[in-house]
Amino acid sequence: MTTTAPSAHAALAPEGIGPIDRQRQLEVLQALRAHLPGDCLLVHAEDTRPYECDALTMFRQVPMLVALPRTEQQVVAILRTCHRMQVPVVPRGAGTSLSGGALPHARGVLLSMARFDRIVSIDPLARIAVVQPGVRNLAISEQAARHGLFYAPDPSSQIACTIGGNVAENSGGVHCVKYGLTIHNVMRARAVLSDGSIALFGSEALDSPGLDLLSVLIGSEGMLAVVTEVSVRLLPKPQLARCVMASFDDVEAAGNAVAALIGAGIIPAGLEMMDRAAVAMVEPFAQAGYDLAAAAILLCESDGTPEEVADEVERMEQVLRQAGATALSVSRDEAERLKFWAGRKNAFPAAGRVSPDYYCTDGTIPRKRLGEVLKAIAAMESKYGLRCPNVFHAGDGNLHPLVLYDASDPDSLARAEAFGAEILELCVRVGGTVTGEHGVGVEKLDTMCAQFDAATMQAFFGVRKAFDPAGILNPGKAIW
């Protein structure tokens, strides 16, 4: 299907990107000062510029002003004021989003939830943690560990990303193949709607009456409400975990091995794949012990009781050998297991060592098409004259191609954007989707048209309008 929408830059240009209206800035600042102390509002360029983009640095816009509330009542006041004045509001977590979902608005307020950083409570018996949205993902597991529990979703940015952003993007991670995405691990959310009213979504019970609006909120990218508190599900920490590293001399064979593992009824705790280019990029940086001669490697993790792990690892090795693995290595202890994963989790920093810039997109495809799609991406490297290492969540077919480019060269930037768009359109053609966990943001505005027809998108917009009739929450992040 041919994309008919304008480019993401063009789609935002009329409304979201441009010069700041200084008179309007002063009016909004004065209105908000009636509700927030001075240190909760940033207006000078040197203070607001750090918020001009998220981790997708292709798109930049300095916000009109930044609000840093400390309490829910301050969030309510901000939204009521902006609703009355018809001022756009863009919620923001830690800014680790890779799709431009937190790109500011030139005439709007950037609402940072960074100061909502408190773990309210941990109930080890109910296995529930109640946290504020600014709490780091990893901090939940660190605090829950004293009770023998952990929080399962673990994005590569988990040391920095926050639970509010995870809810907005429905984040996953290397262990999502077994334990699910954010949507499977959040039980309840408290949020403020665009008019300043407070709403509760979900329940800490097994079920809650009414429509499942929690599932609508999770993954809505800050377009429906501003989350102020989240109840997450905690799981017992496995007694043991082992990671199997398998080498393949052919990318397609590695992709077929992924399908074979799942087809054999094995659901690994984690199942990741890296091609030769990614391994060569990561190994000098992380020194994880990866096989530099392999065309691709798989990292397959098993966790549970020692008996369960021993049995599952044996079954994994058997399937991997039958699928053509040329070498197998099983982590001998916890230190080596973490070393194997350190390489995978440091793929993005490693890319920064070998290229001035990188563009990490994401799309999800059927597992049986992995080898085919990776070979197609290799052909695109020649077409666009850019390198593209691949490192991704193989267990659920969630690709993370890393297009390496130079942002100081407009032609290189344009080729990188076109490269990423073609990868996403390929994902749709083979039966996949334009995003697996990064969200749409501004990056995938065009490719949403390749995925969904007009009637379906109008249904999406209808839901958004029901929550935010005035359209002030994160405007410009959809095709109208």
2 burial via Cβ count (<10 Å: 0-12, 13-18, 19+): exposed
Q: Do 11 and 476 touch, CB atoms closer than 8 A?
A: yes
CB 5 within 8 A of CB 449: yes
Query: pLDDT-derived band of residue 478, with 50, 70 and 90 as boundaries?
Result: confident
Q: Which pairing describes strands 109-112 and 89-92: parallel, antiparallel, or unpaired?
A: parallel
Please classify residue 180 by burial: count the beta carbons closer than 10 Å to its beta carbon, then call 0-12 exposed, 13-18 middle and 19+ buried: middle
Alpha-carbon gap, residue 479 to 471, rounded angstroms:
13
Q: What is the pLDDT of residue 208?
A: 79
Taking CA atoms, 81 is separated from 37, 70, 110, 235, 422, in Å, by 15, 17, 14, 40, 42
What share of the chain in percent tops pLDDT 90? 85
End-to-end CA distance of the chain: 19
Question: Is the pLDDT confidence value at 240 over 90?
Answer: yes
Handedness of CA 32, 37, 40, 44 (dihedral sign): positive
Mean pLDDT of 187-191: 98
**Are the C-beta atoms of 364 and 436 separated by less than 8 Å?**
yes
CA distance 323 to 315: 12
At residue 361, the 3 state secondary structure works out as: coil
pLDDT at residue 7 above 70? no
Domains of the chain are 119-236 (3.30.465.10), 240-346 (3.30.70.2190), 349-444 (3.30.70.2740)
For the CA atoms of 225, 213, 400, 323, what is the dihedral angle to 10 degrees?
170
Q: Is 45 exposed, middle or buried (0-12, 13-18, 19+ CB in 10 A)?
A: exposed
Cα distance between residue 74 and residue 79, in whole Å: 9
- Output the pLDDT for position 479: 59
Mean pLDDT, the chain, rounded, equals 93
283, containing H or E segment = helix 276-286
Other beta carbons less than 10 A from residue 318's beta carbon: 12
Q: Which residue type is seen at 263?
A: G
pLDDT tens per residue across span 244-292: 999 999 999 999 999 999 999 999 999 999 999 999 999 998 899 999 9
Torsion-angle region of residue 30: left (phi > 0), alpha (psi -120 to 50) or beta? Answer: alpha
pLDDT band at 15 (very low <50, low <70, confident <90, very high): low
Nearest by Cα to 360 from 438, 273, 284: 438
14 falls in which pLDDT band (50, 70, 90)?
A: very low
pLDDT band at 238; cut points 50, 70, 90: very high
Q: How many CB atoms lie within 10 A of CB 212?
A: 11
Q: Is the pLDDT of residue 12 over 50?
A: no
Confidence check: pLDDT of 9 > 50: no
CA quadruple 461, 56, 272, 264: dihedral, nearest 10: 10
Spatial separation of the C-alpha atoms in residues 59 and 13, rounded to whole Å: 11
Neighbours of 18 (CB within 10 A): 13
- Close Cβ partners of 341 (under 8 Å, ≥ 6 residues apart): 174, 243, 270, 288, 299, 301
Give pLDDT, residue 207. 79
Q: How far apart are CA 364 and CA 160, in angstroms?
A: 24
Averaged over 383-394, what is the pLDDT? 95
- pLDDT tens per residue across span 292-330: 999 999 999 999 999 999 999 999 999 999 999 999 999
Nearest to 225 by CA among 216, 237, 234, 235: 216
CB 346 within 8 Å of CB 285: yes
pLDDT tens per residue, range 160-184: 999 999 999 999 998 999 999 999 9
Q: Write down the pLDDT at residue 345.
A: 86
Closest residue by Cα to residue 81 from 96, 65, 92, 102: 65
Average pLDDT rounded to a whole number, residues 23-44: 96
The pTM of the full predicted model, rounded to 2 decimals, is 0.92
pLDDT single digits (tens) 403-446? 999 999 999 999 999 999 999 999 999 999 999 889 999 999 88
Locate the DSSP E strands across 289-390: 296-304, 327-330, 357-360, 363-364
